[in-house]
Amino acid sequence: MTFKTLTHLQRLEAESIHILREVVAETENPVMLYSVGKDSAVMLHLAKKAFHPASPPFPLLHVDTTWKFRDMYELRDRAAKQAGMELIVHQNPDAIRDRINPFDHGSQHTDIWKTEGLKQALNQHRFDAAFGGARRDEEKSRAKERIISFRSAKHRWDPKNQRPELWRLYNTRKAKGESMRVFPISNWAELDVWQYIHLEAIEIVTLYFSAQRPTVERDGMILMVDDERFPLHPDEKPVNRSIRFRTLGCYPLTAAIESTATTLPEVIQEMLLTTTSERQGRAIDHDQTTSMEK
């Protein structure tokens, strides 16, 4: 008899698919938060696999800030269509009214567009489970996060009141109005995500690959000038640089790195040889929609 030894990616994939199916089977109205980043891309791919040949039986939700890179919007719409899934785009009407933007409002920008926007969208559609692409290896504080994180009817996270998770058994029972955030790729590390994208040929935003792009340098960070809304200082003039992004947020807040990596193996190579941690590029933009704590 021959045995088949599962690789680490096969085991991670099986676990994530199991979580996706379990939550869909036991909740009434699940949704997948889709931020168009590489983690979202992997999560969406896993959902397609989990429910094949059907389309994933839930919609995608993009909590939009209107300040994402143009390439991200383009891929978002195409990816949803290819997966045969409904795409719900939520833009916080308060933020639209008050013209909240990253240049004038700093960290408020993220809070109002994303954190508040997410709560609005979940309430409006009465979603009782939201899949997010957060991973435990992203920050030290996330090491203790559950795969399923419970929220009160007011979306409050009570760290003292989370349930133990044993074996492959997830307790998804909840009272009316309560909801949960589910993190199917909790146990994936950054390298796993990249390897899986490579192995499965998953499409990701081109911004992860190097190209000549118009940029300015501010406070030691390279920022891409993605459209005419970028307010240039009087002495600033966009310069073309060969850049790419390690993480993607709102374009004026996410710093690029100078790079020549134009293929996935080259990107992974650069990632492995780098000496700084992943989130550094987003010092001023913590992606809170996928955050486990929020």
Nearest distance, CB of residue 116 and other proteins, angstroms: 25
Contact (Cβ atoms closer than 8 angstroms) between residue 65 and residue 96 = no
Nearer to other proteins among residue 166 and residue 235 (C-beta):
166
- Using CB under 8 A, count the residues that bind other proteins: 67
Among residues 159, 229, 239, 258, the one that binds other proteins under rule CB under 8 A: 159
> What is the per-residue binding string for other proteins in 43-62, x denoting contact by CB under 8 A?
-----xxxxxxxx-------
Nearer to other proteins among residue 95 and residue 256 (C-beta):
256
Contact (Cβ atoms closer than 8 angstroms) between residue 63 and residue 113 = yes
Contact (Cβ atoms closer than 8 angstroms) between residue 16 and residue 47 = no
Nearest distance, CB of residue 232 and other proteins, angstroms: 30
* Selection from 45, 53, 52 nearest residue 9 by Cα: 45
The answer to the question of residue 6 lying near other proteins (CB under 8 A) is yes
User: What is residue 280's DSSP assignment?
Assistant: G
Contacts with 213 (C-beta within 8 Å, 6 or more apart), sequence order: 224, 240, 241, 243, 256
Among residues 22, 128, 226, 285, the one that binds other proteins under rule CB under 8 A: 22
Measured torsion, CA atoms of residues 70, 72, 74, 76, in degrees rounded to the nearest 10: -150
Nearer to other proteins among residue 4 and residue 99 (C-beta):
4
Nearer to other proteins among residue 96 and residue 272 (C-beta):
272
> What is the per-residue binding string for other proteins in 110-149, x denoting contact by CB under 8 A?
--------------------------xx--xx-xx-----
The piece of 115-123, 126-134, 219-227, 274-282 that touches other proteins (CB under 8 A) is 274-282
Q: Give the DSSP per-residue string, 206-254.
A: GGGS-EEEEEEEETTEEEE--STTS---TT---EEEEEE-SS-SBTTTP
The answer to the question of residue 11 lying near other proteins (CB under 8 A) is yes
**Mode of pairing for the β-strands spanning 239-244 and 211-218:** antiparallel
> What is the per-residue binding string for other proteins in 162-201, x denoting contact by CB under 8 A?
xxxxxxxx-x-xxx----------xx-x-xx--x--xx--
Distance (Å) of CA 56 to CA 32, 39, 184, 190: 10, 17, 14, 25
Nearer to other proteins among residue 92 and residue 179 (C-beta):
179
The answer to the question of residue 4 lying near other proteins (CB under 8 A) is yes
Distance (Å) of CA 192 to CA 11, 37, 52, 188: 11, 15, 23, 6
The answer to the question of residue 216 lying near other proteins (CB under 8 A) is no
Contacts with 108 (C-beta within 8 Å, 6 or more apart), sequence order: 100
Nearer to other proteins among residue 191 and residue 239 (C-beta):
191
Give the Cβ contact number of residue 207 at 10 Å. Answer: 24
Helix axes 70-83, 38-51, angle to 10 degrees: 10
Per DSSP, the three-state class of 148 is strand
Nearest distance, CB of residue 165 and other proteins, angstroms: 6
Give the residues lining the site for other proteins (CB under 8 A). 1, 3-15, 17-18, 21-22, 24-25, 48-55, 136-137, 140-141, 143-144, 159-160, 162-169, 171, 173-175, 186-187, 189, 191-192, 195, 198-199, 265-266, 268-269, 272-277, 280
